[in-house]
Structure 1
Amino acid sequence: MKQLLQNGLDQLGINESIQSFKSVSGGDINEAFYVRTGNHEYFVKLNRQVSPDFFEFEKRGLEKIKATDSIAVPKVYGVKTDVQSGTPMLWLEWIEGKKAFGTDSQLGEQLAQMHMNKQSKYGFDEKSFIGRLEQKNHLSDSWLEYYRNCRLAGQLEIGRERQTITGDRERKLVKLLVCLDQWVPEKPHASLLHGDLWGGNWMVGAEGRPHLIDPSVLYGDNEFELAFTNLFGGFSDKFYEAYQSVFPLSDTYHDLEPLYQLYYLLVHLNMFGETYGGSVDRILDRYVG
Protein backbone atom coordinates (compact mmCIF):
# COMPACT_ATOMS: atom_id res chain seq x y z
CA MET A 1 0.00 0.00 0.00
CA LYS A 2 2.83 2.41 0.81
CA GLN A 3 4.24 1.98 -2.68
CA LEU A 4 0.83 2.58 -4.28
CA LEU A 5 0.44 5.81 -2.29
CA GLN A 6 3.99 6.88 -3.12
CA ASN A 7 3.23 6.26 -6.79
CA GLY A 8 0.30 8.66 -6.45
CA LEU A 9 2.48 11.39 -4.98
CA ASP A 10 5.04 10.90 -7.73
CA GLN A 11 2.35 11.12 -10.43
CA LEU A 12 1.14 14.39 -8.90
CA GLY A 13 4.66 15.76 -9.30
CA ILE A 14 5.07 16.17 -5.54
CA ASN A 15 8.70 15.48 -4.71
CA GLU A 16 8.16 14.11 -1.20
CA SER A 17 8.61 10.73 0.46
CA ILE A 18 5.94 9.17 2.63
CA GLN A 19 7.05 8.96 6.24
CA SER A 20 3.90 7.33 7.61
CA PHE A 21 0.37 6.42 6.65
CA LYS A 22 -2.66 4.82 8.27
CA SER A 23 -6.13 3.71 7.28
CA VAL A 24 -8.90 6.08 8.39
CA SER A 25 -12.66 6.25 8.09
CA GLY A 26 -13.74 7.28 4.59
CA GLY A 27 -17.34 6.11 4.33
CA ASP A 28 -18.62 2.74 3.18
CA ILE A 29 -17.52 3.08 -0.46
CA ASN A 30 -13.83 3.97 -0.56
CA GLU A 31 -10.62 3.04 1.17
CA ALA A 32 -9.18 6.13 2.88
CA PHE A 33 -5.77 6.98 4.28
CA TYR A 34 -3.96 9.62 6.29
CA VAL A 35 -0.56 10.19 4.65
CA ARG A 36 2.29 12.21 6.18
CA THR A 37 5.45 13.36 4.46
CA GLY A 38 8.17 15.58 5.83
CA ASN A 39 6.27 18.71 4.77
CA HIS A 40 2.57 17.92 4.45
CA GLU A 41 -0.39 15.84 5.62
CA TYR A 42 -2.76 14.39 3.01
CA PHE A 43 -6.11 12.64 2.90
CA VAL A 44 -6.28 10.03 0.14
CA LYS A 45 -9.33 8.15 -1.11
CA LEU A 46 -9.00 5.21 -3.46
CA ASN A 47 -11.34 2.64 -4.93
CA ARG A 48 -10.32 -0.39 -6.95
CA GLN A 49 -13.85 -0.88 -8.34
CA VAL A 50 -14.52 2.50 -10.00
CA SER A 51 -13.29 4.51 -12.96
CA PRO A 52 -11.38 7.79 -12.48
CA ASP A 53 -14.63 9.61 -13.41
CA PHE A 54 -15.90 8.77 -9.93
CA PHE A 55 -13.24 10.90 -8.25
CA GLU A 56 -13.04 13.49 -11.04
CA PHE A 57 -16.66 14.36 -10.29
CA GLU A 58 -15.88 14.88 -6.60
CA LYS A 59 -12.82 16.96 -7.50
CA ARG A 60 -14.87 19.18 -9.80
CA GLY A 61 -17.53 19.63 -7.12
CA LEU A 62 -15.01 20.76 -4.53
CA GLU A 63 -13.51 23.21 -7.01
CA LYS A 64 -16.93 24.64 -7.86
CA ILE A 65 -17.78 25.15 -4.19
CA LYS A 66 -14.41 26.83 -3.58
CA ALA A 67 -14.99 29.16 -6.56
CA THR A 68 -18.08 30.64 -4.85
CA ASP A 69 -15.74 32.11 -2.20
CA SER A 70 -18.37 31.44 0.46
CA ILE A 71 -17.43 28.27 2.35
CA ALA A 72 -14.20 26.32 2.71
CA VAL A 73 -13.34 22.94 1.22
CA PRO A 74 -10.14 20.89 1.46
CA LYS A 75 -7.45 21.79 -1.04
CA VAL A 76 -7.55 19.42 -4.01
CA TYR A 77 -4.19 18.11 -5.20
CA GLY A 78 -5.60 15.93 -7.95
CA VAL A 79 -6.87 12.58 -9.19
CA LYS A 80 -4.34 10.04 -10.36
CA THR A 81 -4.59 6.41 -11.43
CA ASP A 82 -1.84 4.02 -10.39
CA VAL A 83 -0.27 2.72 -13.59
CA GLN A 84 0.50 -0.75 -12.26
CA SER A 85 -2.79 -1.58 -10.50
CA GLY A 86 -5.20 0.76 -12.32
CA THR A 87 -6.43 2.12 -8.97
CA PRO A 88 -7.75 5.71 -9.07
CA MET A 89 -6.93 7.97 -6.12
CA LEU A 90 -8.15 11.38 -4.98
CA TRP A 91 -5.55 13.41 -3.08
CA LEU A 92 -6.80 16.13 -0.72
CA GLU A 93 -5.55 18.34 2.07
CA TRP A 94 -5.84 16.70 5.49
CA ILE A 95 -8.44 18.52 7.60
CA GLU A 96 -8.63 17.87 11.31
CA GLY A 97 -10.72 19.72 13.86
CA LYS A 98 -13.58 19.42 16.29
CA LYS A 99 -17.07 20.79 15.83
CA ALA A 100 -17.64 23.34 18.58
CA PHE A 101 -20.34 25.72 19.74
CA GLY A 102 -21.07 28.26 17.03
CA THR A 103 -19.43 26.31 14.23
CA ASP A 104 -22.73 25.10 12.81
CA SER A 105 -24.01 28.69 12.84
CA GLN A 106 -21.08 29.59 10.60
CA LEU A 107 -21.93 26.62 8.44
CA GLY A 108 -25.55 27.74 8.04
CA GLU A 109 -24.61 31.29 7.15
CA GLN A 110 -21.90 30.30 4.71
CA LEU A 111 -24.02 27.59 3.06
CA ALA A 112 -26.73 30.20 2.46
CA GLN A 113 -24.14 32.52 0.93
CA MET A 114 -23.08 29.69 -1.39
CA HIS A 115 -26.72 29.12 -2.37
CA MET A 116 -27.20 32.81 -3.10
CA ASN A 117 -24.84 32.49 -6.09
CA LYS A 118 -27.46 32.23 -8.84
CA GLN A 119 -26.88 29.85 -11.75
CA SER A 120 -28.36 30.01 -15.26
CA LYS A 121 -29.51 26.37 -15.53
CA TYR A 122 -30.67 23.44 -13.41
CA GLY A 123 -29.07 20.01 -13.20
CA PHE A 124 -25.48 19.27 -14.19
CA ASP A 125 -23.52 18.91 -17.40
CA GLU A 126 -21.75 15.59 -16.85
CA LYS A 127 -22.09 12.15 -15.32
CA SER A 128 -22.40 12.31 -11.55
CA PHE A 129 -22.69 9.96 -8.60
CA ILE A 130 -24.65 9.77 -5.35
CA GLY A 131 -22.98 7.13 -3.22
CA ARG A 132 -22.26 4.26 -5.59
CA LEU A 133 -25.13 5.10 -7.95
CA GLU A 134 -24.58 6.89 -11.23
CA GLN A 135 -27.14 9.63 -11.88
CA LYS A 136 -28.78 10.72 -15.10
CA ASN A 137 -27.90 14.33 -15.89
CA HIS A 138 -28.35 17.21 -18.24
CA LEU A 139 -28.73 20.97 -17.98
CA SER A 140 -32.31 22.22 -18.11
CA ASP A 141 -34.24 25.48 -18.10
CA SER A 142 -36.77 23.85 -15.76
CA TRP A 143 -36.06 22.57 -12.26
CA LEU A 144 -39.37 20.68 -12.33
CA GLU A 145 -38.35 18.86 -15.51
CA TYR A 146 -34.89 18.02 -14.19
CA TYR A 147 -36.11 16.85 -10.79
CA ARG A 148 -38.83 14.71 -12.34
CA ASN A 149 -36.92 13.17 -15.24
CA CYS A 150 -33.39 12.87 -13.87
CA ARG A 151 -33.67 12.58 -10.11
CA LEU A 152 -36.94 10.79 -9.38
CA ALA A 153 -37.38 8.92 -12.67
CA GLY A 154 -33.71 7.97 -12.58
CA GLN A 155 -34.18 6.24 -9.22
CA LEU A 156 -37.38 4.64 -10.52
CA GLU A 157 -35.36 3.03 -13.34
CA ILE A 158 -32.76 1.73 -10.90
CA GLY A 159 -35.48 0.48 -8.55
CA ARG A 160 -37.17 -1.45 -11.33
CA GLU A 161 -33.87 -3.09 -12.23
CA ARG A 162 -33.10 -3.97 -8.60
CA GLN A 163 -36.69 -4.95 -7.76
CA THR A 164 -36.87 -2.39 -4.95
CA ILE A 165 -39.65 -0.39 -6.66
CA THR A 166 -42.43 -2.69 -7.83
CA GLY A 167 -46.18 -3.16 -7.53
CA ASP A 168 -48.14 -0.53 -5.62
CA ARG A 169 -44.98 1.46 -4.82
CA GLU A 170 -44.11 1.66 -8.51
CA ARG A 171 -47.65 2.64 -9.47
CA LYS A 172 -47.77 5.46 -6.92
CA LEU A 173 -44.36 6.81 -7.88
CA VAL A 174 -45.37 6.91 -11.56
CA LYS A 175 -48.57 8.72 -10.57
CA LEU A 176 -46.56 11.22 -8.53
CA LEU A 177 -44.29 11.99 -11.47
CA VAL A 178 -47.32 12.91 -13.57
CA CYS A 179 -48.68 15.43 -11.05
CA LEU A 180 -45.40 16.67 -9.57
CA ASP A 181 -46.04 20.17 -10.90
CA GLN A 182 -48.69 20.64 -8.19
CA TRP A 183 -45.89 21.10 -5.65
CA VAL A 184 -42.43 21.44 -7.24
CA PRO A 185 -41.68 24.88 -8.75
CA GLU A 186 -40.49 25.16 -12.32
CA LYS A 187 -38.08 28.06 -11.89
CA PRO A 188 -36.92 28.54 -8.30
CA HIS A 189 -33.63 30.27 -7.52
CA ALA A 190 -30.97 28.08 -9.15
CA SER A 191 -28.24 27.48 -6.58
CA LEU A 192 -25.03 25.51 -6.61
CA LEU A 193 -25.86 22.67 -4.21
CA HIS A 194 -23.52 20.35 -2.32
CA GLY A 195 -26.01 17.61 -3.17
CA ASP A 196 -25.22 15.13 -0.37
CA LEU A 197 -25.20 17.28 2.74
CA TRP A 198 -25.79 15.03 5.72
CA GLY A 199 -24.16 15.56 9.11
CA GLY A 200 -21.05 13.57 8.22
CA ASN A 201 -20.19 15.62 5.15
CA TRP A 202 -18.89 18.70 6.87
CA MET A 203 -16.01 19.13 9.27
CA VAL A 204 -13.96 21.80 10.96
CA GLY A 205 -10.56 22.98 9.81
CA ALA A 206 -8.05 25.61 10.86
CA GLU A 207 -9.34 28.47 13.01
CA GLY A 208 -12.66 26.68 13.47
CA ARG A 209 -13.76 27.16 9.86
CA PRO A 210 -16.42 24.75 8.60
CA HIS A 211 -15.44 22.78 5.51
CA LEU A 212 -17.70 20.88 3.12
CA ILE A 213 -16.52 17.46 1.98
CA ASP A 214 -17.77 14.64 -0.32
CA PRO A 215 -20.02 16.74 -2.58
CA SER A 216 -22.39 15.45 -5.25
CA VAL A 217 -22.95 18.84 -6.85
CA LEU A 218 -25.82 20.03 -9.00
CA TYR A 219 -27.66 23.27 -9.74
CA GLY A 220 -31.11 23.40 -8.21
CA ASP A 221 -33.58 24.65 -5.64
CA ASN A 222 -31.77 25.53 -2.42
CA GLU A 223 -34.68 24.01 -0.49
CA PHE A 224 -33.77 20.60 -1.95
CA GLU A 225 -30.51 20.85 0.02
CA LEU A 226 -32.22 22.00 3.21
CA ALA A 227 -34.74 19.17 3.02
CA PHE A 228 -31.94 16.60 3.06
CA THR A 229 -30.26 18.19 6.07
CA ASN A 230 -33.55 17.63 7.91
CA LEU A 231 -33.93 14.00 6.88
CA PHE A 232 -31.38 12.27 9.09
CA GLY A 233 -30.60 15.07 11.55
CA GLY A 234 -27.18 16.28 12.67
CA PHE A 235 -27.83 20.02 12.29
CA SER A 236 -28.83 22.27 15.17
CA ASP A 237 -31.50 24.96 15.35
CA LYS A 238 -28.65 27.49 15.20
CA PHE A 239 -27.69 26.17 11.78
CA TYR A 240 -31.18 26.78 10.39
CA GLU A 241 -31.54 30.17 12.09
CA ALA A 242 -28.23 31.33 10.63
CA TYR A 243 -29.15 30.01 7.18
CA GLN A 244 -32.49 31.82 7.13
CA SER A 245 -30.93 35.07 8.31
CA VAL A 246 -29.21 35.11 4.90
CA PHE A 247 -31.60 33.14 2.66
CA PRO A 248 -35.14 32.78 4.07
CA LEU A 249 -37.11 29.68 3.10
CA SER A 250 -40.33 30.01 1.08
CA ASP A 251 -43.82 29.75 2.53
CA THR A 252 -44.26 26.46 0.65
CA TYR A 253 -41.12 24.80 2.03
CA HIS A 254 -42.90 22.48 4.46
CA ASP A 255 -45.17 21.18 1.69
CA LEU A 256 -42.11 20.56 -0.48
CA GLU A 257 -39.79 19.06 2.11
CA PRO A 258 -41.06 15.44 1.94
CA LEU A 259 -41.02 15.50 -1.88
CA TYR A 260 -37.39 16.56 -1.83
CA GLN A 261 -36.52 14.01 0.85
CA LEU A 262 -38.15 11.32 -1.32
CA TYR A 263 -35.23 11.40 -3.76
CA TYR A 264 -32.69 10.64 -1.03
CA LEU A 265 -34.89 7.92 0.45
CA LEU A 266 -35.16 6.31 -2.99
CA VAL A 267 -31.36 6.43 -3.25
CA HIS A 268 -31.05 4.69 0.13
CA LEU A 269 -33.73 2.19 -0.83
CA ASN A 270 -31.87 1.33 -4.03
CA MET A 271 -28.50 1.12 -2.28
CA PHE A 272 -29.39 -0.50 1.05
CA GLY A 273 -32.77 -2.19 0.56
CA GLU A 274 -36.14 -2.36 2.23
CA THR A 275 -35.08 -0.67 5.47
CA TYR A 276 -36.06 2.58 3.73
CA GLY A 277 -39.17 1.25 1.99
CA GLY A 278 -41.62 2.29 4.68
CA SER A 279 -40.43 5.90 4.59
CA VAL A 280 -40.76 5.97 0.79
CA ASP A 281 -44.27 4.55 0.98
CA ARG A 282 -45.41 7.07 3.59
CA ILE A 283 -44.38 9.98 1.37
CA LEU A 284 -46.06 8.47 -1.69
CA ASP A 285 -49.24 7.92 0.33
CA ARG A 286 -49.17 11.52 1.53
CA TYR A 287 -49.22 12.93 -1.99
CA VAL A 288 -50.92 10.34 -4.19
CA GLY A 289 -52.27 7.66 -1.83
Structure 2
Amino acid sequence: MMAAEVRREAEAALGVRLTSVRPLGGGCIGEVYRLDLPDGSRLVAKADPSHKAHLEREAYMLRYLRENSDLPVPEVIYSSETLLVMEFVESDGDISGTVEEHAAEMLADLHSLSWKAFGLERDTLIGSLPQPNPPSESWVEFFCEYRLLYLARVAREAGRLPADTYRRLQRFADTLPGRLPEPERPALIHGDVWSGNVLVRNGRVAAFLDPAIYYADPEIELAFITLFNTFGERFFRRYAELRDLREGFFEERRDVYNLYPLLVHTYYFGGSYLGSVENTLTRFGF
Protein backbone atom coordinates (compact mmCIF):
# COMPACT_ATOMS: atom_id res chain seq x y z
CA MET A 1 0.00 0.00 0.00
CA MET A 2 1.57 3.26 -1.13
CA ALA A 3 1.65 6.37 1.06
CA ALA A 4 -0.99 7.97 -1.15
CA GLU A 5 -3.40 5.08 -0.51
CA VAL A 6 -2.70 5.24 3.23
CA ARG A 7 -3.42 8.96 3.14
CA ARG A 8 -6.75 8.46 1.35
CA GLU A 9 -8.05 5.77 3.71
CA ALA A 10 -6.75 7.52 6.84
CA GLU A 11 -8.22 10.90 5.83
CA ALA A 12 -11.59 9.29 5.07
CA ALA A 13 -11.57 7.48 8.42
CA LEU A 14 -10.37 10.43 10.49
CA GLY A 15 -12.31 13.13 8.68
CA VAL A 16 -9.30 15.41 8.41
CA ARG A 17 -6.68 16.30 5.80
CA LEU A 18 -3.23 15.10 6.87
CA THR A 19 -0.26 17.42 6.76
CA SER A 20 2.09 14.59 5.82
CA VAL A 21 2.45 10.79 5.70
CA ARG A 22 6.01 9.62 6.39
CA PRO A 23 7.44 6.06 6.41
CA LEU A 24 8.70 4.76 9.76
CA GLY A 25 10.90 1.78 10.59
CA GLY A 26 9.30 -1.41 11.87
CA GLY A 27 6.73 -3.87 10.63
CA CYS A 28 7.88 -7.32 9.51
CA ILE A 29 4.86 -7.53 7.23
CA GLY A 30 3.22 -4.45 5.79
CA GLU A 31 4.38 -0.86 6.18
CA VAL A 32 4.44 1.64 9.05
CA TYR A 33 3.82 5.37 8.65
CA ARG A 34 3.70 8.50 10.79
CA LEU A 35 0.63 10.61 10.15
CA ASP A 36 0.99 14.34 10.86
CA LEU A 37 -2.25 16.21 11.61
CA PRO A 38 -2.95 19.93 11.09
CA ASP A 39 -3.07 20.57 14.86
CA GLY A 40 0.52 19.33 15.23
CA SER A 41 -0.40 15.95 16.71
CA ARG A 42 0.79 12.65 15.24
CA LEU A 43 -0.58 9.16 14.75
CA VAL A 44 0.94 5.88 13.58
CA ALA A 45 -0.52 3.79 10.78
CA LYS A 46 0.18 0.18 9.82
CA ALA A 47 -0.80 -0.67 6.26
CA ASP A 48 -1.22 -4.16 4.79
CA PRO A 49 -2.96 -4.48 1.42
CA SER A 50 -2.07 -8.20 1.32
CA HIS A 51 -4.16 -8.98 4.45
CA LYS A 52 -1.28 -11.15 5.70
CA ALA A 53 -0.73 -9.10 8.88
CA HIS A 54 -4.33 -9.60 10.13
CA LEU A 55 -4.54 -6.01 11.35
CA GLU A 56 -8.06 -6.48 12.74
CA ARG A 57 -6.67 -9.06 15.18
CA GLU A 58 -3.91 -6.69 16.26
CA ALA A 59 -6.53 -4.00 16.85
CA TYR A 60 -8.56 -6.45 18.92
CA MET A 61 -5.55 -7.31 21.10
CA LEU A 62 -4.67 -3.66 21.74
CA ARG A 63 -8.27 -2.85 22.63
CA TYR A 64 -8.49 -5.91 24.88
CA LEU A 65 -5.44 -4.81 26.86
CA ARG A 66 -6.69 -1.22 27.20
CA GLU A 67 -10.13 -2.36 28.33
CA ASN A 68 -9.07 -5.19 30.64
CA SER A 69 -5.70 -4.16 32.07
CA ASP A 70 -3.53 -1.20 33.03
CA LEU A 71 -0.72 -2.17 30.67
CA PRO A 72 0.17 0.88 28.57
CA VAL A 73 -0.48 0.19 24.88
CA PRO A 74 -1.27 2.57 22.02
CA GLU A 75 -4.92 3.52 21.65
CA VAL A 76 -6.57 2.26 18.47
CA ILE A 77 -8.09 5.17 16.54
CA TYR A 78 -9.26 3.25 13.47
CA SER A 79 -8.91 -0.28 12.13
CA SER A 80 -9.75 -2.26 9.03
CA GLU A 81 -8.25 -5.32 7.36
CA THR A 82 -5.81 -3.11 5.47
CA LEU A 83 -5.12 -0.18 7.84
CA LEU A 84 -4.58 0.24 11.57
CA VAL A 85 -4.29 3.79 12.94
CA MET A 86 -2.98 4.18 16.49
CA GLU A 87 -1.89 6.74 19.00
CA PHE A 88 1.70 7.92 18.49
CA VAL A 89 3.74 7.19 21.63
CA GLU A 90 6.87 9.26 22.21
CA SER A 91 10.07 7.37 23.00
CA ASP A 92 13.32 8.96 24.14
CA GLY A 93 15.59 6.33 25.62
CA ASP A 94 16.87 2.79 26.04
CA ILE A 95 16.00 0.17 28.63
CA SER A 96 17.73 1.00 31.93
CA GLY A 97 17.60 -0.61 35.35
CA THR A 98 14.76 1.66 36.45
CA VAL A 99 12.87 0.80 33.27
CA GLU A 100 13.34 -2.91 34.03
CA GLU A 101 11.84 -2.45 37.49
CA HIS A 102 8.91 -0.48 36.09
CA ALA A 103 8.31 -3.18 33.48
CA ALA A 104 8.39 -5.86 36.21
CA GLU A 105 5.72 -4.00 38.15
CA MET A 106 3.47 -3.63 35.12
CA LEU A 107 3.86 -7.23 33.94
CA ALA A 108 3.35 -8.59 37.46
CA ASP A 109 0.12 -6.61 37.57
CA LEU A 110 -0.90 -7.93 34.13
CA HIS A 111 -0.18 -11.50 35.26
CA SER A 112 -2.52 -11.03 38.23
CA LEU A 113 -5.48 -10.87 35.81
CA SER A 114 -7.22 -14.18 35.23
CA TRP A 115 -9.99 -15.78 33.17
CA LYS A 116 -12.07 -18.93 33.18
CA ALA A 117 -9.58 -20.96 31.11
CA PHE A 118 -6.25 -21.00 29.33
CA GLY A 119 -6.53 -19.48 25.88
CA LEU A 120 -8.90 -16.64 25.03
CA GLU A 121 -12.31 -15.86 23.61
CA ARG A 122 -10.85 -15.74 20.08
CA ASP A 123 -7.65 -16.55 18.24
CA THR A 124 -4.87 -13.95 18.22
CA LEU A 125 -1.49 -13.55 16.51
CA ILE A 126 2.21 -14.06 17.12
CA GLY A 127 3.85 -11.84 14.51
CA SER A 128 1.51 -12.44 11.59
CA LEU A 129 0.97 -16.14 12.39
CA PRO A 130 -2.46 -17.13 13.71
CA GLN A 131 -2.28 -18.16 17.37
CA PRO A 132 -5.11 -20.58 18.26
CA ASN A 133 -6.69 -20.04 21.68
CA PRO A 134 -9.44 -22.60 22.31
CA PRO A 135 -10.41 -22.29 26.00
CA SER A 136 -8.74 -25.18 27.84
CA GLU A 137 -8.83 -26.37 31.43
CA SER A 138 -5.29 -27.81 31.34
CA TRP A 139 -2.34 -25.51 30.71
CA VAL A 140 -0.01 -28.41 29.92
CA GLU A 141 -2.40 -29.78 27.28
CA PHE A 142 -2.94 -26.28 25.86
CA PHE A 143 0.79 -25.56 25.58
CA CYS A 144 1.50 -28.98 24.10
CA GLU A 145 -1.22 -28.96 21.44
CA TYR A 146 -1.83 -25.29 20.61
CA ARG A 147 1.65 -23.88 21.03
CA LEU A 148 4.44 -26.45 20.66
CA LEU A 149 2.93 -29.02 18.29
CA TYR A 150 0.81 -26.48 16.44
CA LEU A 151 3.84 -24.35 15.54
CA ALA A 152 5.88 -27.44 14.72
CA ARG A 153 3.18 -28.46 12.21
CA VAL A 154 3.04 -24.95 10.72
CA ALA A 155 6.83 -24.82 10.31
CA ARG A 156 6.91 -28.37 8.95
CA GLU A 157 4.18 -27.69 6.37
CA ALA A 158 6.03 -24.55 5.27
CA GLY A 159 9.15 -26.64 4.63
CA ARG A 160 11.14 -24.90 7.36
CA LEU A 161 11.33 -27.72 9.91
CA PRO A 162 13.05 -30.98 8.94
CA ALA A 163 11.02 -34.17 9.31
CA ASP A 164 13.47 -35.61 11.85
CA THR A 165 13.27 -32.50 14.05
CA TYR A 166 9.49 -32.62 13.82
CA ARG A 167 9.48 -36.22 15.04
CA ARG A 168 11.86 -35.32 17.89
CA LEU A 169 9.46 -32.55 18.96
CA GLN A 170 6.55 -34.99 18.92
CA ARG A 171 8.43 -37.40 21.19
CA PHE A 172 9.50 -34.56 23.48
CA ALA A 173 5.89 -33.33 23.72
CA ASP A 174 4.87 -36.68 25.22
CA THR A 175 7.06 -35.88 28.24
CA LEU A 176 5.55 -32.46 29.00
CA PRO A 177 3.09 -33.66 31.69
CA GLY A 178 6.11 -34.70 33.77
CA ARG A 179 8.03 -31.48 33.12
CA LEU A 180 5.44 -28.71 33.48
CA PRO A 181 3.29 -28.09 36.56
CA GLU A 182 -0.28 -26.87 36.23
CA PRO A 183 -0.41 -23.24 37.44
CA GLU A 184 -2.99 -22.21 40.00
CA ARG A 185 -4.92 -20.17 37.44
CA PRO A 186 -4.61 -18.67 33.96
CA ALA A 187 -2.82 -15.31 33.73
CA LEU A 188 -3.12 -12.67 31.01
CA ILE A 189 0.18 -12.21 29.16
CA HIS A 190 1.42 -9.73 26.55
CA GLY A 191 3.06 -12.60 24.69
CA ASP A 192 5.81 -10.81 22.72
CA VAL A 193 7.95 -8.79 25.13
CA TRP A 194 11.22 -8.09 23.33
CA SER A 195 13.09 -4.78 23.31
CA GLY A 196 11.65 -3.68 19.95
CA ASN A 197 8.17 -3.84 21.49
CA VAL A 198 9.03 -1.68 24.52
CA LEU A 199 8.94 2.12 24.23
CA VAL A 200 10.72 4.14 26.92
CA ARG A 201 10.20 7.77 27.95
CA ASN A 202 11.66 9.66 30.93
CA GLY A 203 13.08 6.47 32.45
CA ARG A 204 9.74 4.64 32.42
CA VAL A 205 8.00 2.25 30.07
CA ALA A 206 5.76 4.39 27.88
CA ALA A 207 4.11 1.54 25.95
CA PHE A 208 4.25 -2.12 25.04
CA LEU A 209 3.68 -2.73 21.32
CA ASP A 210 2.56 -5.64 19.11
CA PRO A 211 0.90 -7.91 21.70
CA ALA A 212 0.27 -11.63 21.22
CA ILE A 213 -2.19 -12.01 24.10
CA TYR A 214 -3.87 -14.99 25.71
CA TYR A 215 -4.24 -16.47 29.19
CA ALA A 216 -1.32 -18.72 30.10
CA ASP A 217 1.16 -19.74 32.74
CA PRO A 218 3.05 -16.42 33.13
CA GLU A 219 6.32 -18.35 33.07
CA ILE A 220 6.04 -18.49 29.29
CA GLU A 221 6.22 -14.68 29.23
CA LEU A 222 9.22 -14.65 31.56
CA ALA A 223 10.96 -17.30 29.46
CA PHE A 224 10.56 -15.21 26.32
CA ILE A 225 12.07 -12.21 28.12
CA THR A 226 15.21 -14.27 28.86
CA LEU A 227 15.43 -15.58 25.29
CA PHE A 228 16.25 -12.18 23.80
CA ASN A 229 17.59 -10.55 26.98
CA THR A 230 14.81 -7.96 26.95
CA PHE A 231 15.27 -7.35 30.67
CA GLY A 232 17.87 -8.55 33.13
CA GLU A 233 18.54 -9.07 36.82
CA ARG A 234 16.73 -5.98 38.09
CA PHE A 235 13.56 -7.01 36.28
CA PHE A 236 13.53 -10.50 37.78
CA ARG A 237 14.45 -9.30 41.25
CA ARG A 238 11.57 -6.82 41.28
CA TYR A 239 9.15 -9.31 39.69
CA ALA A 240 10.01 -11.90 42.36
CA GLU A 241 9.14 -9.36 45.05
CA LEU A 242 5.64 -9.13 43.59
CA ARG A 243 4.93 -12.66 42.34
CA ASP A 244 6.43 -16.06 43.11
CA LEU A 245 9.08 -17.46 40.80
CA ARG A 246 8.76 -21.20 41.23
CA GLU A 247 11.81 -23.41 41.64
CA GLY A 248 13.02 -24.98 38.42
CA PHE A 249 12.02 -22.15 36.09
CA PHE A 250 15.52 -20.95 35.23
CA GLU A 251 17.00 -24.44 35.37
CA GLU A 252 14.59 -26.19 32.99
CA ARG A 253 11.13 -24.78 32.24
CA ARG A 254 12.26 -21.59 30.51
CA ASP A 255 14.03 -23.71 27.88
CA VAL A 256 10.90 -25.81 27.41
CA TYR A 257 8.73 -22.71 26.95
CA ASN A 258 11.21 -21.02 24.64
CA LEU A 259 10.78 -23.79 22.11
CA TYR A 260 7.60 -21.97 21.09
CA PRO A 261 9.15 -18.60 20.12
CA LEU A 262 12.13 -20.45 18.66
CA LEU A 263 9.73 -22.33 16.37
CA VAL A 264 8.06 -19.03 15.44
CA HIS A 265 11.45 -17.62 14.48
CA THR A 266 12.35 -20.85 12.69
CA TYR A 267 9.23 -20.37 10.56
CA TYR A 268 10.20 -16.79 9.70
CA PHE A 269 13.99 -16.91 9.59
CA GLY A 270 15.30 -20.48 9.87
CA GLY A 271 19.07 -20.65 10.36
CA SER A 272 20.31 -20.39 13.91
CA TYR A 273 16.80 -20.58 15.33
CA LEU A 274 16.37 -24.09 13.96
CA GLY A 275 19.75 -24.91 15.49
CA SER A 276 18.53 -23.60 18.86
CA VAL A 277 15.43 -25.82 18.66
CA GLU A 278 17.58 -28.85 17.94
CA ASN A 279 20.07 -27.98 20.68
CA THR A 280 17.23 -27.71 23.21
CA LEU A 281 15.89 -31.11 22.20
CA THR A 282 19.36 -32.59 22.51
CA ARG A 283 19.75 -31.06 25.96
CA PHE A 284 16.60 -32.91 27.06
CA GLY A 285 17.71 -36.19 25.48
CA PHE A 286 15.74 -36.13 22.23
Taking structure 1 as the reference length, the TM-score comes to 0.90
Structure 1 pair 207–273 and aligned structure 2 pair: CA distance change class (3 A): closer
- Establish whether residue 48 from structure 1 lines up as the match of residue 49 from structure 2: yes
Instruction: Say which of 125, 131, 137 aligns to 2:133.
Output: 137
Cα deviation per residue 1:194-251 (whole Å; 9 max; x = unaligned)?
1111111110258844311100111101010000010011313222222222112111
SS of residue paired to 1:140: coil
Give 1:262's aligned amino acid.
L
- How far, CA to CA, are the matches of 1:174 and 1:138 in structure 2? 21
SS of residue paired to 1:123: coil
Percentage of identical aligned residues: 28
Cα deviation per residue 1:58-78 (whole Å; 9 max; x = unaligned)?
112112222344321111112
- Establish whether residue 92 from structure 1 lines up as the match of residue 89 from structure 2: no
Cα deviation per residue 1:27-53 (whole Å; 9 max; x = unaligned)?
32220001111132100001122168x
| 2:198/2:208 contact within 8 Å kept | yes
Cα deviation per residue 1:76-133 (whole Å; 9 max; x = unaligned)?
112135xxxxxx0110011112235422211111111111112221012323222232
- How far, CA to CA, are the matches of 1:167 and 1:41 in structure 2? 48
The equivalent of 1:26 in structure 2 is 26
Give 1:252's aligned amino acid.
G
The equivalent of 2:189 in structure 1 is 193
- How far, CA to CA, are the matches of 2:71 and 2:138 in structure 1? 27
Give 1:132's aligned amino acid.
S
Instruction: Say which of 273, 278, 284 aligns to 2:275.
Output: 278
Range 204-213 or range 237-246, more displaced: 204-213
| 2:198/2:205 contact within 8 Å kept | no
Q: Could you list the runs of 5+ residues in structure 1 that have no partner in the other structure?
A: 82-87
Range 120-129 or range 19-28, more displaced: 120-129
Instruction: Say which of 156, 159, 171 aligns to 2:152.
Output: 156
For residues 203-214 of structure 1, the aligned pairs below 5 Å read 203-205=199-201, 208-214=204-210
Structure 1 pair 139–127 and aligned structure 2 pair: CA distance change class (3 A): same
| 2:55/2:80 contact within 8 Å kept | no
- Establish whether residue 73 from structure 1 lines up as the match of residue 73 from structure 2: yes
SS of residue paired to 2:258: helix
Structure 1 pair 34–10 and aligned structure 2 pair: CA distance change class (3 A): closer
| 2:188/2:216 contact within 8 Å kept | yes
State the shift of 1:187 in Å.
Answer: 3.9
Range 60-69 or range 276-285, more displaced: 60-69
| 2:61/2:124 contact within 8 Å kept | no
SS of residue paired to 1:16: coil
State the shift of 1:165 in Å.
Answer: 2.6
The equivalent of 2:174 in structure 1 is 178
| 1:71/1:210 contact within 8 Å kept | no
Q: CA RMSD in A?
A: 2.0
Give 2:116's aligned amino acid.
S
SS of residue paired to 2:80: strand
- Establish whether residue 60 from structure 1 lines up as the match of residue 60 from structure 2: yes
- How far, CA to CA, are the matches of 1:208 and 1:97 in structure 2? 10
| 2:224/2:258 contact within 8 Å kept | yes
The equivalent of 2:240 in structure 1 is 244
SS of residue paired to 2:240: helix
| 1:201/1:213 contact within 8 Å kept | yes
- How far, CA to CA, are the matches of 1:115 and 1:11 in structure 2? 38
Q: Could you list the runs of 5+ residues in structure 2 that have no partner in the other structure?
A: none
- How far, CA to CA, are the matches of 2:170 and 2:87 in structure 1? 44
Structure 1 pair 68–182 and aligned structure 2 pair: CA distance change class (3 A): same
Taking structure 2 as the reference length, the TM-score comes to 0.91
| 2:160/2:267 contact within 8 Å kept | yes
The equivalent of 1:257 in structure 2 is 254
Structure 1 pair 126–11 and aligned structure 2 pair: CA distance change class (3 A): farther
